[in-house]
Structure 1
Amino acid sequence: MDAAHGARVVATQAYTLKTLTIRDDAFIAVLGGRKTLHAPHARLSADVQQGVMLARGTQWDVTNDPAGRREYAALAIAFPAELIRECHALEAAAGLPEVDAAQVLAVDEELLAAVQRTLPPVAARPLAGALLRHRVLEVLILLAQRGHRFAPAESLPWPERVRRLVAQRLHADWDVATLATAFHVSESTLRRRLEGSGTTLAALVRDIRLETALGLLQTTRLPVGEVAARCGWKSHSRFTVAFQERWGVPPSVVRARLKDDAQDLTETA
């Protein structure tokens, strides 16, 4: 898998996302406001000049709050598993404790600049994949130098394999037969492997569509209706209901807009 660009997340009012599952190890640097993570037995907050490392496979209620400022703003980056393994093997990471849930740490100028370099370039020329990969790895090394590292990933479980394939074509009418062909296994084998993980194809497809919609609303200026269409919903209203049922807030509240370009935030489910 190629390294992914970092992303900027903005919110002009406080909202809480329910049971957000962290799919890949991630780091979020808070630029304005406050990010708070809630779990049954834990509560962590990251303010300006702080960041939080989030371990894959953990689940949180996440509050993004301007906290008296003009907006909540943060830079977020998720790390491909192969870069986690590469960093783990480096001398800089040797013997460090592994983040098994979440870790709040100070964000100095060097670390912040490294995260900013992973953002998509403003210029028309795209960032070469090899260069982006090195920039993402730089962030991991800087985190290690500050005393923290992620645990290397094991082989991907079947639900995660399905998620990653479905994410490439959210519009598709995914069924077991199509996926079984893509993975070169029988339909019965694929069903058995998903059932053994306690899930179904329909649940996985719904979750990845809603997670992708959340990301688009937080990091782009696409209209809510277009986000719904891109994520496989033909009905704007049904998308709004599904989104609020999953995340606890309507899409309009999550919409990442600055105040001088804000949309109406009165939409409800």
Structure 2
Amino acid sequence: MKHEAPSLPNGAFLRQRGRACFHRLVSTMPVLVQVRSGTKVVVVRDTSLRLLAGEFGLLPDHRPMTMENIPKSPQNYEARVLPIPRSLFEETYLRVGCITPPRTAVPMKARDLPVEAVALFDFCSSPERLATLPAAVASVRLMELITWFALGGAILGERGDLLLQDRLRQMIEKDPAYDWTSGHAARSFHMSEATLRRKLAAENTSFTETLSDTRMTRALALLHTTTLPVAHVALAVGYDSPSQFAVRFKERFGVNPRDVRGDPDIIERIGTEVARIGRDEISVEQ
């Protein structure tokens, strides 16, 4: 089978200070996750998954999820996350042969992973380590990890046809800071703006709503996994005004951006210092 090689995933370490529940989160790629501290609860429709510290799970793509991260005092909630392109799951299942994907994609727990699989997850979820491998070798490692998860009971279900809003989300996610308009989207999907509006309305959404939600979801990921100052996170998702960004973020998730992180004041200072050093280096080079 000849296909286009998927880009390598970018694993990350996720931190959250207080207990928070995030509704209608949508990932454009399936995600492997290990809870390191605290508890994660994920609900997709009538299916609920509860992961305790040390446990592994598989979260589906393009399914609205309610996700609650619960710290165990006095520690932060912490987890390792590894998004992997769906095409690698599908190729893995096809090659292994004995794995039958469920008809519906729901969150699943991977049980009784051996030490080899745990070590492989640690390796693959560290971007600086996975990047040392040739792309073809890295893909094989990821397929091995997918196989271990499947043997542990975590198999990615079928996705079905993407909705227009899913395709729009994928497009925006490639560059959330871009000044996207409905005209851009309509031309990309080879339809008129009126048709775009009508089809999105049939899916109970709109261009503006999908754009905002995609940006806020990306902002939440950046707050969870980086030390970027909040002002820089705002810029990264298309907001010139940090205050306007904070208002939109709280409207979407019910918490302030600075309250998401563990030790937010310390992280904010570290992020600001890193950003300042970066600007100084650029000035020197110029």
Higher alpha-carbon deviation: 206-215 or 43-52: 43-52
After TM superposition, give the deviation of residue 205 of structure 1 in Å: 0.6
Letter in 2 for 1:20: L
CA contact (8 A) 2:47 2:107 kept: no
Paired residue for 1:252, among 248, 254, 258? Answer: 258
What does residue 110 of structure 1 align with?
116
Q: In 2, Cα distance between the equivalents of 1:65 and 1:144?
A: 26
- In 2, Cα distance between the equivalents of 1:53 and 1:220? 22
1:190 aligns with 2:196: yes
Question: In the alignment, what sits opposite 1:60?
Answer: 65
Shift in CA distance, 200/116, structure 1 to aligned 2, threshold 3 Å = same
For the residue of structure 2 that corresponds to 1:117, the secondary structure is helix
**Which segment drifts farther, 221-230 or 85-94?**
85-94
Q: Do 2:44 and 2:63's aligned partners in 1 also have CA atoms closer than 8 Å?
A: no
Distance 1:48 1:99 in 2: 26
Q: Paired residue for 1:267?
A: none
Which 10-residue stretch deviates more, 178-187 or 77-86? 178-187
The answer to whether the 8 A contact 2:19-2:70 is kept is yes
> How far apart are the structure 1 equivalents of 2:74 and 2:104?
30
Match of 1:36 in 2: 41
Residue in 1 that maps onto 2:56: 51
Q: 1:228 corresponds to which residue?
A: 234
Q: What's the TM-score once normalised by structure 1's chain length?
A: 0.84
Counterpart code for 2:78 = A
Equivalent residue for 2:152, pick from 146, 165, 168: 146
* Residues 160 and 95 of structure 1: CA distance in aligned 2, closer, same or farther (over 3 Å): closer
- Partner amino acid, structure 1, of 2:92: C
Q: 1:152 to 1:97 in 2, by over 3 A?
A: closer
The residue number in structure 2 matching 1:134 is 140
> Which of 211, 218, 221 pairs up with 2:224?
218
Cα displacement (A) at 1:12: 3.4
> Using the alignment, how far apart are the partners of 2:151 and 2:97 within structure 1?
6
| AA of the residue aligned to 2:59 | L
1:57-112 Cα shifts (integer Å, max 9, x gaps): 43333222231353322111223121122123133543465663222233442222
Partners in 1 of 2:36 and 2:181 — Cα distance? 42
> Any residues of structure 2 matched to 1:82-93 within 5 Å, and which?
82-91=87-96, 93=98
Higher strand share: 1
Q: What CA distance in whole angstroms lies between the structure 1 residues aligned with 2:250 and 2:188?
A: 32
Cα gap change, 1:115/1:257 in structure 2, threshold over 3 Å: closer, same or farther?
farther
Q: Is contact 2:76-2:262 (8 Å) kept?
A: no
Q: Which residue of 2 aligns with 1:19?
A: 24
Q: Which residue of 2 aligns with 1:165?
A: 171
Structure 2: stretches of 5+ with no match in the other structure: 1-5, 270-286
> Helix, strand or coil for the counterpart of 1:4?
coil
**1:214–1:138 distance in 2 versus 1, CA, 3 Å:** same
Structure 2-normalised TM-score?
0.79
Number of residue pairs the alignment of both structures matches = 263
SS at match of 2:36: strand
* Contact 2:177-2:236 within 8 A present in 1 as well: yes
Map of 1:94 onto structure 2 = 99
Query: Which residue in the other structure is 2:248 paired with?
Result: 242
Q: Which residue of 2 is the match for residue 208 of structure 1?
A: 214
Per the TM alignment, residue 128 of structure 1 is displaced from its structure 2 partner at its CA by 4.0
Preserved CA contact (<8 Å) 2:16 2:262: yes
State the alpha-carbon separation in 2 of the partners of residues 17 and 94 from structure 1: 32
- SS of the equivalent of 2:67 reads strand
Q: Is the 8 A contact 1:9 1:73 kept in 2?
A: yes
The answer on 1:2 being equivalent to 2:33 is: no
RMSD: 2.9
| SS of match in other structure, 1:150 | coil
In the superposition, relative to structure 1, how do residues 42 and 197 fare at CA in structure 2: closer, same or farther (>3 Å)? closer
Structure 2 CA distance, aligned partners of 1:151 and 1:41?
15
